[in-house]
Amino acid sequence: MTKKKIREHDLTVGEAVPWDVFSEEGELLVRKGHVVSSVKQLDILIKRGLYAASHAHPPKSETYIQPSVVRMLNSANKRLEFLSREIIAGKGGEKEKLLEVAHLVYAAVDLQPNVALACILHNQKVGMYAIRHCIDTAIVARMIAKAMKKSAAEKLVIIAAALTMNLGMLAHQERLQSHKDALSPEDAEIIKRHPIHTVDMLRHAGVDDEVWLACVLLHHENEDGSGYPFGKRGHDVPLDAKIISLADRYTARVSSRNYRKSLVPNAALRDMLLEGNSSVDQSLVATFIKELGTYPIGTFVRLENGEIGVVTSRGASSTTPIVDSLIGPRGAPLERVNRRDTSKPLCGVREVLSEHQAAVGFNLDQLWGPVASA
């Protein structure tokens, strides 16, 4: 049998294997269609040889399932919810499983960062808010950590900390996030102490990485000492915890919840700036704005020519993104998506729109292709 070495990036955690995979000796390891369920399983396959039939890319007649950021993130959502409930119930030995979810989110963002960012705004109906919010936070934190040239190991720990930052209040979060009245003293104490409670739960679950635990413990502290649970000031808060903190604030603002409407993305970024002459690290906010852009990926906009579309990628500058137009100047859906460079005449961004104002129905794969398939 003719064999060809499979490259590591040919396989992705959470996605189906597109061919039968054999060891170097010809032993069948997994059949085509098998879903690689964990980073550990991926590592085992790599160590055992990872050989496939010579057609590394299967003929057109064969079914090939292209990796999808949306499916990977949805898988991470389900697995994180299950693990969170296991940890809340007091189960130990969950560190490696949590890291596998962190690897899955890491791989999803690496596969197509624009789709991962778009999911924050356009994949909000998947799973419970409390879990989805942690994944959204991890996506943004991963982007910022990369911009700050963090190592792969550092980025993974930041993702893991973001995914687990609210375990200590998960049992209360659905109730508290819909709370319209003033918090009771008991609920205020739950919120204030949830980072401490979360760290205790993570230690019991087997997490012993002190950087991970410090990020969780301190992600609600502020530059001016107004945060919680300890009231620490900026110089006493690790940079990684600050990254998670700002990612947490941003994604919370752009997420729709049953007790309030979401902010449009550029308003969320502006809100963070205004919030924060003293409470947030302004140099870090500047990095956020530089990386996310004035019009973050997924933002609905109206162009100077009257078209309505979605920001799909960065452009020549932070204020001139690439937009895929879906609605024409007279309000009728376009027969095909028109890609617009907003640095060009008549294609500049006139205004940012809310989802309600845009009134545009679309699927992510219409704009980003199979990598965004549900």
In contact, 338 and 252? CB cutoff 8 Å: no
In angstroms, how far is CA 343 from the centroid of its own chain?
A: 28
Confidence of residue 47 (pLDDT cuts 50, 70, 90): confident
Average pLDDT over residues 316-326: 95
Query: Cα(297)–Cα(309) distance, rounded to whole angstroms?
Result: 11
pTM: 0.84
Pairing of strands 51-53, 300-303: unpaired
Residue 320: per-residue pLDDT: 96
- Judged by DSSP in three states, 121 sits in helix
Cα-atom radius of gyration of the chain, to the nearest Å? 22
CA 294 to chain centre: 19
Lowest mean pLDDT among 6-10, 158-162, 265-269, 352-356: 6-10
* Cα–Cα distance, 63 to 44 (Å, whole number): 25
The mean pLDDT value for 343-365 works out to 94
**What is the rounded CA–CA span in Å between residue 329 and residue 91?**
57
Tens of pLDDT, residue by residue over 131-155, are 999 999 999 999 999 999 999 999 9
CA 300 distance to own-chain centroid: 19
Portion of the chain with pLDDT greater than 90, in percent: 61
User: Does the pLDDT of residue 62 top 60, yes or no?
Assistant: no
Cis peptide before 229 (omega within 30 of 0): yes
Query: If you average pLDDT over every residue of the chain, what do you get?
Result: 87
Q: Which two tokens stand for residue 234?
A: 């900026």
Residue 260, pLDDT > 70, answer no
Q: Is there a contact between 325 and 337 (Cβ–Cβ < 8 Å)?
A: yes
344: Cα within 13 Å, side-chain hemisphere: 7
> What is the pLDDT at residue 178?
65
